[in-house]
Structure 1
């Protein structure tokens, strides 16, 4: 790196960190808002896991694929509609076994939007985005301020 590159890098390093942090905060906030909104309007009923759909999502250390299982839920809504749908989110390991009876949360306006009750995957993931976003934003602003003193 020549001197000009070092100068430009040090001048924008904090800004870059802060922008990444703000993006994480926005993604986490939107996701958390959507998850909490779904849970507020969701109705609960009993259902059964009729299938588990495995999907590869990247790879773990060592090259093995990380498999996430999405349960297929079958249930009857409070207004007696039969619904069979894939859950909104998946987990690894599988959240339930095929044939297992579970409590299902579903959106009464769109019963195909459903998940196994008690799943905290979305809350954890979006909470993590918010925490990381806050850390990146604060670090970026502190670094930018410290660099501006020189």
Structure 2
């Protein structure tokens, strides 16, 4: 395997590597916590079929004058007692929207708090977990690589 020699300030590489590793590790801890929280919620949750009653847009100003748009879903479902609830969910920023009015969706809800339901599927909670795990792994990997490359063995002679 070829040896990579790093030129420049090893201190900057070590500092950058430490920061990236720390932020990545914090993201991994957050991802683990969110995953455990999601598992615990789903284990005690009831499910119901909901219907998308409305789609809205949530637009925020972005960088460079561009705005970002996320689609908001209004979903109605009934709990096991027959009580009707409406929840708001996000449908990402895909165009066209990932959901359509009238579409049936799975809703997970705590029977003690049915008004606080969550959409099933990837856009419900899976996307948040994927981003947290993905960014955590990438940042930790980049940080560890920077730390390894700043080691004395990789300094130019």
Instruction: Pick the TM interval, shorter chain.
Output: 0.7 to 0.9
Partner of 2:109: 106
- C-alpha change, 1:45 and 1:23, in structure 2 (3 Å) is same
For structure 2, the 5+ residue unaligned runs are 1-8
TM-score, normalised via structure 2 length: 0.72
The CA deviation string for residues 41-94 of structure 1, in whole angstroms up to 9 with x for no partner, is 22222222222232125548x74422111211212100222212213x432343
Alignment of 1:89-128 (within 5 A): 89-93=90-94, 94-117=97-120, 119-121=121-123, 122-128=125-131
The root-mean-square deviation of aligned C-alpha atoms, in Å, is 2.8
- C-alpha change, 1:56 and 1:113, in structure 2 (3 Å) is same
SS of 1:99's partner is coil
Matched residue pairs, number? 143
What is the alpha-carbon distance in structure 1 between the residues aligned to residue 68 and residue 150 of structure 2? 41
- C-alpha change, 1:57 and 1:35, in structure 2 (3 Å) is farther
For structure 1, the 5+ residue unaligned runs are 1-5
- C-alpha change, 1:37 and 1:69, in structure 2 (3 Å) is farther
Q: Segments of 4+ in structure 1 off by > 4 A?
A: none
TM-score, normalised via structure 1 length: 0.74
Contact 1:86–1:112, Cα closer than 8 Å, also in 2 = no
What is the alpha-carbon distance in structure 2 between the residues aligned to residue 71 and residue 120 of structure 1? 14
SS of 1:80's partner is coil
